[in-house]
Structure 1
Amino acid sequence: MAANGTFRAEVRDWLNDALTGAFAHARGLGGPGREHEAFPERLAWERHLAAAGWTCLGWPAEHGGRGATLAEQVVFNEEYALADAPARVGHIGENLLGPTLLAFGTDEQRARFLPPIAAVEELWCQGYSEPDAGSDLANVQTRATLDGGTWRVTGQKVWTSLAAEADWCFAVCRTEPGSVRHRGLSYLLVPMRQDGVDVRPIVQLTGTSEFNEVFFDDARTDASCVVGAPGDGWRIAMATLGFERGVATLGQQVGFRRELTGVIELARRTGALDDPLLRDRLVRAWIGLEAMRANAVRTMAGAADGAPGPESSISKLVWGTWHRDLGELAMDVLGAAGMITDGEPYDLNDWQRLFLFSRADTIYAGSNEIQRTIIAERVLRLPREARP
């Protein structure tokens, strides 16, 4: 415990120094619904993190990490959020693809892709969802054909976060003609900056566009850029989802706590705290956040090799629902004033943005309905739901 206290002080002191110097203006920039904010400045900040050895903490030292313990990773993510440091731009490569390559990649793939992720020299996006394969990911129709030493990829992905900034995409593609559902899928690494890749922003309710459509039209990648065996993509993709719900979620919850504290202060200013029903909802939100943290710590402590199992679906179900409800609560605390923007043409305040963007929390990264099915079948071992 004393060692963790020393590490926490080290992290806190470094962040305080870094965020009161050249990057003082970067505090609070970015985040869900605000990924458009100061992207070049946030990229420079993340490269500053990398140069100081604060990226990829849990990775082995030989791959650019620090070999940090789970407790140290939790400490870093909590202190990062408490410092109101800018939203990370390399999250997808560092926390999703990196651990996947460490677990399933070849030595050559690790040597090629991990150092640029750790140094924030290459950014990644995730090519999972499609127009007819969102929560039903097994319905993927994007196809890839091996032509000599090259995979040729054709299809469409959607809701692809930060695709316009990404250098590479890890994409689930159907590589076995005639295959259906989970069979015949492969996990490919595809360069984004090439002819045959078209990124089209999707304008969201918040007026911003961090989500995108991505069209592959005979895009190419090397035959070696398949993680695991061809046809084993479903297993690899599910492992990536497990890593996505790992230690970074505790930092996310610090952000949730800051938002809840802000809503409580707003309720004091508006007088909404005198309403017994709203006061009860605020108390329930606080209790829910405490339960969320306890469940996340328990899930990660029991994870094998740092990769949460199907129990991680509980965390996704809980935080997605809690955060959506917080957005609704914020609007109820605002009252009628919440219907008016701060300026033309669509200048939203933080609470309006929270309400609008959090509507998607119960859908993206696996909808509530899908999480309940996973919990029922793979955690509680209930009979499988009938499928066509």
Structure 2
Amino acid sequence: MSKKAVALMLVLLLVGMMFAGCAQKEEPAPAAPEATTEEPTAPEATTETPEPAEPMVMGMITDTGGLGDQSFNDSAWLGLEKVEQDFGIERQVLESQSADDYMPNLVSFAEEQVNLIYGVGFLFDESMKTVADKFPDQKFAIIDSSGLEKDNVAEIVFAENEGSFLVGVIAGLKTETNVIGFIGGMKFPLIEKFEYGFKAGVKSVNPDAEVIVNYADSFEDSAKGKEIALVQHQAGADVIFHAAGGVGAGLIEAAKEEGFWAIGVDQDQSHLAPENVLCSMMKRVDVGVYKVAQSVIDGTFESGTIVFDAKNDGVGYSDLAGNLTDDLKAAADKYLEAIKAGTFAVPATEAEFDAFVAPAL
């Protein structure tokens, strides 16, 4: 083949390759995603909010002394106030005008299904037994009574004789006339515990002193309390102790008017007459109320008897007005420690008092 023919073939081959390349179509580049100005959609908010848990409700039913007695009922109410502050419960009260109100008041709270119902005082015994049986799922507490033997009733009791012994020591050392008075509310074994414990304390430090005893047959008649106090003072009593609820307000009024010493009870009563209330026998009803309420809140409620005595500071004495000398406090504290140690037993009944021998400390 001539050189011209070879050259011609090469030219034709190159031209064919160029046409073949031009015939191939180019694929378009992938399109970019369209831009958007919309924000990502958030999950749809709900308008429903959880209902807050309703607070526990605890109800207290007073005895006939009612709120404002500056003593027993007020101390119990103070205990519930502290429960309200510490745990956010709601507290309610029904005041009893007479013993006939105990049963309907208990039933009223039980039908409302409050979380805990208190009956303030041993006079609730029979009514509480009946209502506790009728409402077996309802929790109750009774103050100053034991032996109900109900699975849904907590029984809060105190060693009143021990606390009364201590103020008896103070009265026996303080008197200048060797005549001392005691005013009880109603003559029941519970109030007699105050009487005989007090008389034992006086006897331990001043066996020559006479203790005049009268009962008012009431826990709310302050006028009767004043009348009895004035009679005792006229008989020579210069220190008078009461265990009579609202009746004691009359005693303190008489002490303020006539210038003798009164001894308060249940809670510190010196604010009623700071210059005439020598001291007060502390019966920590507020602590008992608080303890049982706390057991309901934390789910450890138990029926049966809970005793508050000198050993667990359930009873004692107070002197917020500062009327006790150091010697008087030292004497009372010496006997307090002996009671806590079990060195001697404080009488609670007449028979125990008659057999009582003052300890040599």
For normalisation by structure 1, the TM-score amounts to: 0.25
**Larger proportion of helix:** 1
Higher RCO (CA < 8 A, seq sep 6+): 2
Structure with higher strand content: 2
TM, length-normalised to structure 2: 0.27
Higher Rg: 2
